Structure 1
Amino acid sequence: MSKINDLMVRGTDLLGSDYAILCGAMSWVSERHLVSAISNAGGFGVIACGAMTPELLDTEIAATKALATRNFGVNLITMHPQLFDLIDVCAKHDVGHVVLAGGLPPKGSLEAIKASGAKVICFAPTLAMGKKLVRSGVDALVIEGMEAGGHIGPVSTSVLAQEILPTLANEVPVFVAGGIGRGEAIAAYLEMGASGVQLGTRFVCATESIAHPNFKKAFLRASAREAIASVQIDPRLPVIPVRALKNAGTEAFTAKQREVANKLDGGEIDMMEAQLEIEHYWAGALRRAVIDGDVENGSLMAGQSVGMVSEEENVAAIVASLVQQAEAALHARG
């Protein structure tokens, strides 16, 4: 057995994949083509439900099942107004793994997912939250550092790994995410006790990714320092910073925040509606960039590992090179 398989065994047992390499759920990008390709290549693809309706998710899961020969999961956002309907859709399709993102799971949601026999994977932004989630019965955790693309927390991956892995890695499988672009980093986190990793940015320019050629071109040209976090302009607005490549869309988001803050001041909307309006803004801005190729005004969500994305290649080649690099690093260390 290879060293990487040895260290990933808890992750691969949980996921039912050859390698415990999850693909981060990226709205509009992590859809049937990329998800099935990653799972078929031995990794673990995850559908990004995002703001989808239950009907759209139903169609997406069915289409992914038609292409995938291996397990895949579905990522659901905890603040989705129809979360329980989405859980029902996953159960209807016998989805084996549900990833919950975006804060503490609402009351009854973990039980609803587990009732269908599915495994639940949750994001833990702090050690305290990780402990709470483990007590509540989650099957695995993802710890994601601020180097990641899209919605991010304030702490770096290396710090989160040092804080959380020594305490929780023995309790449940923990997947490390954020800024991982090469196998040497995967090897390091596995040696620290992680059961696997999650990567998003590295898969955006895969040949199987439906991202617009303009979107891929922007990734191939970008360096790590161009993937910057958005600024929160009103402390009352529950705006989670988003890491993306800087463009005119970055400025548009600042204006959007002002508009939502004014509505909040005028009593036109409440806090929950404000948060959803921001979420819908991102979904729309991301769609403009990923699907329509408007890389000036859309959102170019990217992690800092974007500088390591240098060519368009197929998913199998990406997975193989990550595994090869990790294996070589582990052997070099003896």
Structure 2
Amino acid sequence: MSPDMNITDPAYVAARAELDLLWARGTAFLGSRVAILGGAMSWVSERNLVSAISNAGGFGVIACGAMGPALLEAEIAATKALTDKPFGVNLITMHPKLDDLIKVCVAAGVTHVVLAGGVPSGSAMRALKDGGAKVIGFAPALVLGKRLMKLGADALVIEGSEAGGHIGPVSLTVLAQEVLPHLRDLPIFVAGGLGRGDAILGLLEMGAAGAQLGTRFAASTESVAHARFKQAFVRASARDALPSVQLDERFPVIPVRGLVNDGTKRFLVHQAETLRRFQSGELTKEAAQLDIEHFWAGSLRRAVVDGDIEGGSVMAGQSVGMVTSIQPIAEILEELVGQAVQALMRRQPQGAGTGLPQRVDAASPQAA
């Protein structure tokens, strides 16, 4: 929020009330004060960050990632010890112990579970819903959004390719136009490249119920990410966050957006060398594919935990260019809300709510 904004100003009060109305569906669904979720980021979205987001009025989400059931159970308990506000858990549908992880969430009374990484099975959806959890699905296309609705999803996240980490092929700008006008029966949260409140406002007015942010929170004070990892975000511009490159269509590379570094450059060299070995008969196609896939094994942990920002995978969305300092979570959320409110206030007629004469445009009927 701008330091010169007066929250008792009637114009501010009216604009804030309008914002609260725009995302009322999202706040009601999440049980939070503002309809902003924390994106689930492996090694980053743990108890400290999740509780900080929820305590500040947003909605934190634990990234289960590759955790086993016992570790997830401990993380949920530790998060509950730090906040009495609602938070969720993100589960990867391809996890080999998904059923056990669902049981952990249900037993712990987790209110919201985000299922990511693919279309969940009907049995997984039923187990969560029968256990009392609300299910949020990821929809990278309208057709998948409709399918998730039929499966029983209670809400959706549509994430554009501007996001960090694993991404789909379509930008949020296009995805929002494709999905929001046609799926009105459940709350939809938008994600991908979002770093300002006025941008979130525009999507709320298109029909979104709220937004999900990851990159700005990853570089927050409460984030446990290594100091070098956070400083890489502060130094970066939007053009530094690029998706991984695939050299040969026979050896698909799952697109992941991160900051370009020595690791990303070596990955290209590694692909080229692996392709040469395959073509010479030294490697089978299966062995070559595994060799390419294993290149990044453990690289995210090296970057986040160990601070290896040159050889590790520094996953970041294009909103990284809007990260200019390491801020507390509460300050980030306050700033986002303030930007949205200021945008709404700029639309008000001059003097509205202040007791001053309102401006009348010469072309308006009142000017006659």
Calculate the TM-score normalised by the size of structure 1.
Answer: 0.92
Partner residue, 2:43: 28
- Higher alpha-carbon Rg: 2
The answer (yes or no) to whether the contact 1:201–1:305 under 8 Å persists in 2 is yes
Match of 2:4 in 1: none
**More displaced, 72-81 or 101-110?**
101-110
Does structure 1 retain, via aligned residues, the 8 Å contact 2:64–2:90? yes
Q: Provide the aligned C-alpha RMSD in A.
A: 2.2
Aligned residue pairs total 328
Structure 1 residue identity aligned to 2:84? T
The farther-off stretch of 260-269 and 93-102 is 260-269
Shift of residue 257, structure 1, vs aligned partner: 9.5
Q: Does the residue aligned with 2:135 lie in a helix, a strand or coil?
A: strand
Does the CA contact (< 8 Å) of 1:2 and 1:327 recur in 2?
no
Query: Shift of residue 156 of structure 1?
Result: 0.6
Shift of 1:258: 7.1
Letter in 2 for 1:240: I
Structure 1 pair 207–50 and aligned structure 2 pair: CA distance change class (3 A)? same
Alignment of 1:83-94 (within 5 A): 83-94=98-109
Q: 1:55 aligns with which of 47, 70, 77?
A: 70
Confirm or deny: 8 A CA contact 2:122 2:151 kept in the other structure. Answer: no
Say if 2:349 is the partner of 1:330. Answer: no
C-alpha deviation, 1:331, in angstroms: 2.7
CA distance in 1, matches of 2:217, 2:84: 19
Q: Which residue does the alignment assign to 1:294?
A: 308
- Tell me the distance in 1 between the aligned counterparts of 2:204 and 2:195: 15
Query: Structure 1's 257 and 207: CA in aligned 2 closer, same or farther, altered over 3 A?
Result: farther
Secondary structure of 1:166 counterpart = coil
Residues of 2 paired with 1:256 and 1:73: CA distance?
A: 37
Cα deviation, residue 151, structure 1:
0.5
Task: Indicate yes or no: 2:265 matched with 1:265.
Answer: no
- Counterpart of 1:143 in 2: which secondary structure? strand
Of 313, 317, 320, the match for 2:334: 320
1:268: how far off?
5.8
Q: Rate the CA distance shift 1:111–1:26 in 2: closer, same or farther, 3 A.
A: same
* Structure 1 segment 201-216 matched on structure 2, within 5 A: 201-216=215-230
1:234 CA displacement:
4.3
Q: Which amino acid aligns with 2:29?
A: L
Deviation of 1:69 after TM superposition, in Å, equals: 1.9
Does the residue aligned with 1:22 lie in a helix, a strand or coil? strand
**Residues 264 and 64 of structure 1: CA distance in aligned 2, closer, same or farther (over 3 Å):** farther
Aligned equivalent of 1:162: 177
Residue 195, structure 1, aligned to residue 244, structure 2: no
3-state SS, counterpart of residue 312 of structure 2: coil
Q: SS of 1:225's equivalent?
A: helix
- Partner Cα distance (2:311, 2:125) in 1: 37
SS of corresponding position for 1:287? helix
Give the aligned partner of residue 61 of structure 2.
Answer: 46
Query: Secondary structure at the residue paired with 1:310?
Result: coil
Of 249, 255, 261, the match for 1:241: 255
Q: Which residue of the partner structure matches residue 241 of structure 2?
A: 227
| Match for residue 108 of structure 1 among 118, 123, 126 | 123
What stretches of structure 2 of length at least 5 have no aligned partner? 1-15, 349-368
**Equivalent-residue separation in structure 2 for 1:264 and 1:144 (angstroms):** 37
- Work out the CA distance in 2 between the residues paired with 1:111 and 1:48: 21
Distance 1:184 1:218, change over 3 A: same
3-state SS of paired residue (2:37): strand
Partner of 1:303: 317
- Are 1:141 and 2:160 counterparts? no
Structure 1 runs, 4 residues or longer, greater than 4 Å off: 256-264, 266-269, 280-283
Offset from partner CA, 1:7-48 (integer Å, 9 cap, x none): 111111111000110010011111100000000000000001
Alignment partner of 2:24: what SS? helix
Q: Output the amino acid matched with 1:77.
A: I
Flag structure 1 segments of 5+ consecutive residues without an equivalent: none
Residues 257 and 332 of structure 1: CA distance in aligned 2, closer, same or farther (over 3 Å): farther
What amino acid is aligned across from residue 125 of structure 2 in structure 1? L
Which is further off, 299-308 or 100-109?
A: 100-109
Alignment partner, residue 83 of structure 2: 68
TM-score, normalising length: structure 2:
0.84
Aligned to 1:5: 20
Deviation at 1:51, TM superposition (A): 1.1
